[in-house]
Amino acid sequence: RIIRYRTSASAAVLAALTDEGKLVELQQADFLSVVRQAQSEGRTVLQYVQSVVESSEGRQAALEELDLLTPIEAPEVWAAGVTYEKSREARNYEATGGKMDASTFYDKVYDAERPEIFFKSTAARTVGPGQGVQLRSDSQWQIPEPELALVLDGDGTILGYTIGNDMSCRDIEGENPLYLPQAKMWRRSCSIGPAIRLAESVDNPYDFQIACRIFRDGAQVVEGTANTKQLKRKLDELVSFLKRDNELFEGTVLMTGTCIVPPNEFTLAGGDRVDIEISGIGKLSNPVLAAE
Ligand code: DO4
Ligand code: MG
């Protein structure tokens, strides 16, 4: 895994962290420079990073004890939607006021060849581990959306996997689908991290275990689990639609849709904490800030 963190002297450091907890600082300042260095040596990113790790003493460290930053300053974050049955059900509930008896455009997009893909965030709106995600002031029904996120190269190659939180307003989206950008995009409405799991180190991306837990006043109030084997679409299929007639900036992040939705009566409140854990990647933990 590749991580970025702040040292006690406040310098940002890029490092590799093995599954055994060996932490080795890398000489590059950002993940894409590591990718380019590996390419210039004719090696895969995993081969390059492994060689650096093996030839360095490093030290033992755990993610939780580091002052983590976003693992990449993604120029753009995009998101796919209605890629899991769970999301289709939740969207139908919002759109029909709970009646659920009519076929909706969410049913159609779930089955259509073209997936739903929308623009989610810019680097300035995206927060990292431990930083606050923020609530909107004009929504009464807000939830986190835990999602596997892809870190892409400019040609759409999947370089690695991270965790994304696609903060969403269910009431705004349910009122009118044309309000989607407002239901999805506002200050601090997107979080990514804590690490980038190198793509070559993942045998099967359709077997990531995902868990989401929400805490209020120190107690867990929501818990959900899922697995990427429930994903309706292939990851390359989502990337190919994102690339179509589009320019992909190096380091773009694509969130692949939510598979866990809190109970319909639940809404986030300021002071909550959202933890999203994905096997092999880590835990993305963010406090929830009240609306300004
Ligand atoms: O329009 C619906 C958005 C769906 C979404 O963000 C998701 O399924 O994750
Ligand atoms: Mg989503």
User: Residue 92's pLDDT is what?
Assistant: 83
Cβ of residue 165 lying under 6 Å from some atom of ligand 1: no
- Considering only residues 8 and 228, tell me which one the structure prediction assigns the higher pLDDT: 228
d(CA 206, CA 279): 12
Q: How far is the CA of 53 from the centre of ligand 2 (A)?
A: 35
93: pLDDT confidence band, cut at 50, 70 and 90? confident
Q: Residues lining ligand 2 (ion), CB within 5 A?
A: 145, 166, 258
pLDDT, averaged across the chain: 96
The finding on whether 92 has its CB within 6 A of some atom of ligand 1 is: no
> Which whole number is the average pLDDT over 78-94?
89
What the block records as the tokens of 61 is: 């460290």
Please indicate whether residue 79, judged by its CB atom, sits closer than 6 Å to ligand 1: yes
pLDDT in tens, 225-284: 999 999 999 999 999 999 999 999 999 999 999 999 999 999 999 999 999 999 999 999
The dihedrals phi and psi of 252, each to the nearest 5 degrees, come to -65, 145
Phi first, then psi, for residue 154 (nearest 5°) are -65, -25
pLDDT for 103 beyond 80: no
Distance 58 CA to ligand 2 centre (A): 37
In short, whether 58's Cβ falls inside 6 Å of ligand 1 is: no
Question: In which band, very low, low, confident or very high, does the pLDDT at 96 lie, cut at 50, 70 and 90?
Answer: confident
In whole angstroms, what is the distance from residue 164 CA to residue 144 CA?
10
pLDDT at residue 99 is higher than 70: no
Q: Is the CB of 257 under 6 A from ligand 1?
A: yes
- 269 touches 216 (CB < 8 A): yes
pLDDT at 105: 84
- What pLDDT is attached to residue 232? 96
Q: How does pLDDT run across 136-191, given as a tens digit for each residue?
A: 999 999 999 999 999 999 999 999 999 999 999 999 999 999 999 999 999 999 99
Residue labelled with tokens 């590749």 = 2
* Reported pTM: 0.97
Distance 83 CA to ligand 2 centre (A): 9
On the question of pLDDT at 101 being above 70, the answer is no
**Which ligand is nearest to the Cα of residue 86, counting in written order?**
1
Q: Which residues contact 155 (CB under 8 A, 6 or more apart)?
A: 248
Question: Closest Cα to atom 1, ligand 1: which residue?
Answer: 81
